[in-house]
Homo-oligomer: A and B are copies of this chain.
């Protein structure tokens, strides 16, 4: 029977390799590909995607899985590998090829129309495509199926956050919403406010790159197994445990874009570099979920990278690189500025407190899309009303409202909540980490990050998809996801900064 298991692994590795090759093509497309190369690149990516799908649907792969499901000799690790591989394959096999193609084609068209609609601030242009995409994704969800007490949107959530359902998420998200609303109200009412303009002074690209490449390896990112490049939209892409690359962008009048962008992507990259090399090509060497992935980037970006001990260590170096821009700015002023909380209309520019409220708006709008209670044409009003309710701001246009994000234009419904989950998990990990490592702040202040990285590696990375999110969260913290840790973190970080309580 062990022979079959090995054959299963070999087949899974081929599929994974094809996906990773596709990943490299995507990385190149966003970094070095000459512009005219795009047509051939799309064809190459589509071919790899089709080959991976074909190999996933290979009946022999299914037969191996069935044979192994009846095999009592599998150890717990092997069972987990089988469970996750079967979960992926079942979903892939259940969606008819025609529907896969129709979704891909519609997504391609919709994306182009969305770009135009956003440019022209015209939701009506995009509406028919959004309707069609919602319909197609509903059909996908129905094809995959869900329990009688479930709903189509659950299936879409599961695409990004395995095991997530509306019933499980609703209480978490509602509690988070109230935590954030209270925090934002208290913070914006505080008399003491930071000077955000500090970060909008001139910071040359070379200096930003110098600072970024200086901190990268200190955080434990292995540059022999990775690299930093530039792209319009920053991202992390791993093609193997030993080849995990990050990108950033440099904005010379907005320092946080590269500084916190690089730390954020490094968090993603540490997860990918920490996956168990012996399981490469199988679910045991894949990230558990997008929420878990985001918990790593947010942990490093916010819990570590926006902390006072971090800047006690690195502010002198930053000041040395930018002596003019920071000449009259104290560590305390800088630290306050990078923790500015202020409601705004655009998600990608949001601070970590208001950010979750942007996600809540999207989550609730997505539910409205999929339970059919609100017609697509009324979604902009719903969006605007929720923005006003939760953030106190009403978009003056759909371009800076419902049309702002790319996700829906390619059918990525169910993706947004993983950002919020990442923020919550990050706070929960930090609470557990502080118990295991009482001198955490001293370690950060000493740039002694390797023990912190290794704690994450030990607790999360090395397990891949061996456990479910609930199981692993419980193993690490003694409980499943609990937004209270995030609530407490906000108080610990922002109450002293703004000299308030709530």
A34 and B280 contacting across the interface, CB-CB below 8 Å: no
Please give me the residue from chain B that is nearest to A37 by CB atom: B243
B222 and A36 contacting across the interface, CB-CB below 8 Å: yes
A47 and B17 contacting across the interface, CB-CB below 8 Å: yes
On chain B, the residues within 8 Å of A226 by CB distance are 34
Pick the contact of A239: B18, B20, B40, B241 (CB < 8 A): B40
Report the stretch among A24-32, A161-169, A290-298, A414-422 that lies at the interface.
A24-32
On chain B, the residues within 8 Å of A43 by CB distance are 17
On chain B, the residues within 8 Å of A28 by CB distance are 24, 28
Considering only residues 192-227 of chain A, those with a C-beta below 8 Å from chain B are: 222-227
- Min Cβ gap A226→B in Å is 6
Q: A37-B239, A37-B243 are in contact. Are A227 and B32 (CB under 8 A)?
A: yes
B37 and A18 contacting across the interface, CB-CB below 8 Å: no
- Min Cβ gap A241→B in Å is 8
| Cα–Cα distance between A346 and B47 once the two chains are bound (Å) | 43
A44 and B32 contacting across the interface, CB-CB below 8 Å: no
A224 and B20 contacting across the interface, CB-CB below 8 Å: no
Please give me the residue from chain B that is nearest to A22 by CB atom: B21
B34 and A48 contacting across the interface, CB-CB below 8 Å: no
On chain B, the residues within 8 Å of A41 by CB distance are 240, 243
- Min Cβ gap A217→B in Å is 12
Pick the contact of A40: B32, B35, B37, B243 (CB < 8 A): B243
Pick the contact of A242: B14, B24, B40 (CB < 8 A): B40
| Cα–Cα distance between A229 and B245 once the two chains are bound (Å) | 18
- Interface: A39 (CB within 8 A): yes
On chain B, the residues within 8 Å of A37 by CB distance are 225, 239-240, 242-243
Considering only residues 289-347 of chain A, those with a C-beta below 8 Å from chain B are: none
Please give me the residue from chain B that is nearest to A20 by CB atom: B44
Contact bitstring A31-60, B, C-beta under 8 A = 1, else 0: 011111101110110011001000000000
Q: A17-B47, A21-B25, A32-B32 are in contact. Are A40 and B240 (CB under 8 A)?
A: yes
| Cα–Cα distance between A25 and B21 once the two chains are bound (Å) | 8
| Cα–Cα distance between A223 and B225 once the two chains are bound (Å) | 30
| Cα–Cα distance between A243 and B25 once the two chains are bound (Å) | 13
| Cα–Cα distance between A17 and B50 once the two chains are bound (Å) | 13
| Most interface-central of A224, A239, A245 (chain B CB within 10 A) | A239
| Cα–Cα distance between A280 and B41 once the two chains are bound (Å) | 13
| Cα–Cα distance between A489 and B269 once the two chains are bound (Å) | 57
On chain B, the residues within 8 Å of A20 by CB distance are 40, 44
B24 and A224 contacting across the interface, CB-CB below 8 Å: no
| Most interface-central of A37, A41, A224, A280 (chain B CB within 10 A) | A37
B280 and A40 contacting across the interface, CB-CB below 8 Å: yes
B47 and A225 contacting across the interface, CB-CB below 8 Å: no
- Min Cβ gap A299→B in Å is 24
On chain B, the residues within 8 Å of A25 by CB distance are 21, 24
Q: A20-B40, A24-B28, A280-B40 are in contact. Are A14 and B223 (CB under 8 A)?
A: no
| Cα–Cα distance between A44 and B44 once the two chains are bound (Å) | 15
Please give me the residue from chain B that is nearest to A18 by CB atom: B47
Pick the contact of A224: B21, B34, B241, B280 (CB < 8 A): B34
- Min Cβ gap A272→B in Å is 12
- Min Cβ gap A199→B in Å is 31
Q: A21-B21, A21-B48, A44-B17 are in contact. Are A34 and B239 (CB under 8 A)?
A: no
On chain B, the residues within 8 Å of A245 by CB distance are 34
Considering only residues 236-290 of chain A, those with a C-beta below 8 Å from chain B are: 239-243, 245, 280
| Cα–Cα distance between A224 and B25 once the two chains are bound (Å) | 18
Q: A14-B47, A28-B28, A47-B14 are in contact. Are A242 and B36 (CB under 8 A)?
A: yes
| Cα–Cα distance between A226 and B35 once the two chains are bound (Å) | 9
| Most interface-central of A21, A33, A227 (chain B CB within 10 A) | A21
Considering only residues 332-380 of chain A, those with a C-beta below 8 Å from chain B are: none
| Cα–Cα distance between A141 and B48 once the two chains are bound (Å) | 33
On chain B, the residues within 8 Å of A40 by CB distance are 17, 20, 239-243, 280
Q: Which 10 A-B pairs have the closest CB atoms?
A: A37-B243, A40-B240, A36-B242, A36-B225, A36-B224, A17-B47, A21-B44, A35-B224, A34-B225, A34-B227
A-B contact pairs, 15 of them (CB 8 A): A17-B43, A20-B40, A21-B21, A21-B25, A24-B25, A24-B28, A24-B44, A28-B28, A32-B229, A34-B224, A34-B243, A36-B222, A36-B242, A36-B243, A40-B241
Given A24-B24, A24-B28, A41-B243, 13 additional A-B pairs, CB 8 A: A17-B43, A18-B47, A20-B40, A21-B21, A24-B25, A32-B227, A34-B226, A36-B225, A37-B239, A37-B242, A40-B239, A40-B240, A40-B243
